[in-house]
Structure 1
Amino acid sequence: MKAWIVELETRLPARAAEVVALAKTSDQLLRVAAPLVKFRAASPPELPRIWEPGTYWVRLSLFGWIPMGKQAIVISYPASPAGIFALRDDGHSALVARWDHLITIQDAGRDCVYRDRVSIEAGWRTPFVWAFASLFYRHRQWRWRKLLAERRPVSAGGGA
């Protein structure tokens, strides 16, 4: 079965540099996935503060209590055109042969354009995994917008 693709784009109320800095942190993954999906580090026993290229095994649970198994998060920072940041998770699990997620962030003045592109291969499960991914990435983008809109503005003098 060929890969099924989820592609979503949203405009975030923050400059690209701020969103890039957040996207590089494991804490932001936990924040934007919650409460739909909870990630718990399996190997290594803790997620890095800042994503470095490499493989991180996590245990997933739906709503924090329905086990979804283990998944490999395989981080890389692929080359991208000037002005576009890219972060890739070429993930996989026992049930999903390919969960290739590419995040791109592009400056748009005072805002930025945030894109998720996920290529999914899971055999006969692919349509179901694709449907879940469609919901999950819509949830994540909604959480990005909500969390950024709620952040405390920084004054011109740099204080909070």
Structure 2
Amino acid sequence: MMILLLLFFSMHAHAQKNKPNAIVEPITIEYKGKEVKAKKLTVSSEIPMDIDSAWINVKTPALLEFVAEGMIRFKPLGDGLPKQWEVGETYGVKMRVFGFIPFGGIHYLFIEKIDDENHTIASKEWDRGAKVWNHHVAMKDLGNGRIYYEDSITIYGGLMTGIITSFAKQFYKHRQKRWQIVAEESLNFDLE
């Protein structure tokens, strides 16, 4: 009986480690020369994946499409999305929530920074609803084939900031749960 209890608590602790943790904080940012009230959303979890494989994947639009699946479908504009994100480039996509509900008009992603040494990516994003959607991805190697993964997003959408942030919180938790599938199935989106 004691062994069963230890096994149960061990499995529960493992499940809790992989469960995304989300924190929303009120912040003030500058938008078009004015101080405005925004939100900072931070979602983090541990992923059972080596940092090199995770880093290769996170630099691909194919990974974004996979982790968003089930909540958002992206339809790229123009020539589509590249095989890998490129610093200094701006990409436009139309988003459909649950695959069919138009959301935010054209969403633009400007890739501001990709730091291979520190495993971070920063983008400045915006659309009709979310005037500011600045996204920062950070990864840290925890050893033993595990990483700490964090999405940090600054969100401003005027009166809609709270609603957009609530949606974003669910979306990023969904994304990090989908990252667990990437790890479990050893998926590699750099090959696609």
Give the TM bin, normalised by the shorter chain: 0.7 to 0.9
Q: Percent identity?
A: 28
In the superposition, relative to structure 1, how do residues 79 and 2 fare at CA in structure 2: closer, same or farther (>3 Å)? farther
Pairing 1:14-93 to 2, within 5 Å after superposition? 14-42=49-77, 44-53=78-87, 54-68=89-103, 69-77=105-113, 84-93=118-127
Give SS of 2:75's match: strand
TM-score normalised to structure 2 length: 0.74
How many angstroms apart in 1 are the aligned matches of 2:38 and 2:124?
A: 13
Pairing 1:1-160 to 2, within 5 Å after superposition? 1-42=36-77, 44-53=78-87, 54-68=89-103, 69-77=105-113, 84-109=118-143, 110-151=145-186
How many angstroms apart in 2 are the aligned matches of 1:16 and 1:135?
A: 25
Which structure 2 residue ranges, 5 or more long, are not aligned? Answer: 1-35, 188-192
Q: What is the number of residues matched between the two proteins?
A: 149
Q: Give the C-alpha shift of residue 106 in structure 1.
A: 1.0
Give SS of 1:133's match: helix
Q: Deviations over 1:101-122 (max 9, x none)?
A: 1000111111111100000000
How many angstroms apart in 2 are the aligned matches of 1:78 and 1:29?
A: 15
How many angstroms apart in 2 are the aligned matches of 1:64 and 1:45?
A: 21
Which structure 1 residue ranges, 5 or more long, are not aligned? Answer: 153-160
How many angstroms apart in 2 are the aligned matches of 1:67 and 1:17?
A: 35
> Which is higher, the Rg of structure 1 or of structure 2?
2
Give SS of 1:2's match: strand
How many angstroms apart in 2 are the aligned matches of 1:76 and 1:107?
A: 23
In structure 2, give the amino acid aligned to 1:71. H
In structure 1, give the amino acid aligned to 2:54. V
Corresponding position of 1:158: none
How many angstroms apart in 2 are the aligned matches of 1:51 and 1:92?
A: 17
How many angstroms apart in 2 are the aligned matches of 1:49 and 1:136?
A: 23
Aligned partners of 1:56 and 1:73 also within 8 Å? yes
How many angstroms apart in 1 are the aligned matches of 2:153 and 2:164?
A: 11
Q: Deviations over 1:60-81 (max 9, x none)?
A: 000111111210011122559x
In structure 2, give the amino acid aligned to 1:75. I
Q: Deviations over 1:106-159 (max 9, x none)?
A: 11111111100000000000000000000000000000012211237xxxxxxx
Corresponding position of 1:156: none
